[in-house]
Amino acid sequence: MTVTCFELLRDWICRQAPDQADWLDDRYAAFSQGANEQDLHLFLGLAPRRLGRQDLMLSPADLALANQAYPGWNPAGWSLDGAARVAALLAFEGPRPFAAMFQDLVRTADARELVTLYRGLALYPQPESLEFEVGEGLRSNMRAVFESIVHHNPYPRDHFDEHRWNHMVLKALFIGSGLGAIVGLDERSNAELARILLDYAQERWAAGRPVSPELWRCVGPFAERVSAYAALQRALAGTPAERGAATLALIAADTPAARDLLSTAPDTAALAADGRLDWNHLTLQEAA
């Protein structure tokens, strides 16, 4: 029997705060039976005081259940009160469309509340109706808010068109946010994104600025189509992390030209072949 995201959140919260279980169950039951929005706002305000703001404590088994309930959902790093708030939104059955209610919540939220609201995006009813609010979050100049949408959140993978996806990845690089935590990064990579990132890398180099090694992860599979070999050769001669990233990108390209370049870096190619070099461990020191 499949467990819902709401049920998982409820169980995790009550396990960590058993003295609040009766209060939570009473509120969630009321929300599911058509409580008014004033009651929901009251709960959202009370949650940090009743539960505290400590991290939600999750085991590897809990995270596996989360992924089963919604592929790609990873609530690691959520707070206890934040989980309770998302669960309340999942339980709530109100008179207005969810998107209208969510818009009001986003408009009045502070930065910490925004992070909580956006982390639950993929789980909410009619998630495709939240496009406007998601766009506002992506444009935020607060990195934590941006990353609450981009990192460990399957919403972009499931609902962004190619244009929005590509510009999300580009902004992540632009503000120094990592790519590895983006759900679906490899499966949503595309030739246009590779072209955009290659242009970005060349602009950075022309200005004497470094290029994030993670960028090559999105370029490698399309190296032939976007003529990326000269850039990858340059990266292959760069820092240890750049060398590792270029090696992995060339392996992903898997063309005669890519294999020729790989032959000039037998050390990192051997590490990759042995499974000791991957996108989470790009340097020789880390992989050794």
Question: What pLDDT score was predicted for residue 1?
Answer: 56
Give per-residue pLDDT as tens, 42-88: 999 999 999 999 999 999 999 999 999 999 999 999 999 999 999 99
Which of 89-115 are b and which e, b meaning 16 or more Cβ less than 10 Å from the residue's Cβ? bbbbebeeebbebbbebbeebeebbbb
Rounded to whole angstroms, the Cα distance separating 201 from 211 reads 6
- Provide the whole-model pTM: 0.92
Would you write out the chain's pLDDT as a tens digit for each of its 288 residues? 578 999 999 999 999 999 999 999 999 999 998 778 999 999 999 999 999 999 999 999 999 999 999 999 999 999 999 999 999 999 999 889 999 999 999 999 999 999 999 999 999 999 999 998 999 999 998 999 999 999 999 999 999 999 999 999 999 999 999 999 999 999 999 999 999 999 999 999 999 999 999 999 999 999 999 999 999 999 999 999 999 999 999 999 999 999 999 999 998 999 888 888 999 988 754 444
Question: What pLDDT score was predicted for residue 285?
Answer: 46
Question: What pLDDT score was predicted for residue 94?
Answer: 83
Q: Which two tokens stand for residue 242?
A: 């750049």
Question: What pLDDT score was predicted for residue 115?
Answer: 96
Q: Which two tokens stand for residue 215?
A: 């960028």
H/E/C letters for each residue in the chain? Answer: CCCCHHHHHHHHHHHHCHHHHHHHHHHHHHHHCCCCHHHHHHHHHHHHHHHCCCECCCCHHHHHHHHHHCCCCCCCCCEHHHHHHHHHHHHCCCCCCHHHHHHHHHHHCCHHHHHHHHHCHHHCCCHHHHHHHHHHHHCCCCHHHHHHHHCCCCHHHHHCCHHHHHHHHHHHHHCCCCCCCCCCCCCCCCHHHHHHHHHHHHHHHHCCCCCCCCHHHHHHHHHHHHCCHHHHHHHHCCCHHHHHHHHHHHHHHCCHHHHHHHCCCHHHHHHHHCCCCECCECCHHHHC
Write the CB contacts of 285 (distance below 8 Å, at least 6 apart in sequence).
240
- Half-sphere exposure (CA, 13 Å, Cβ side) for 216? 29
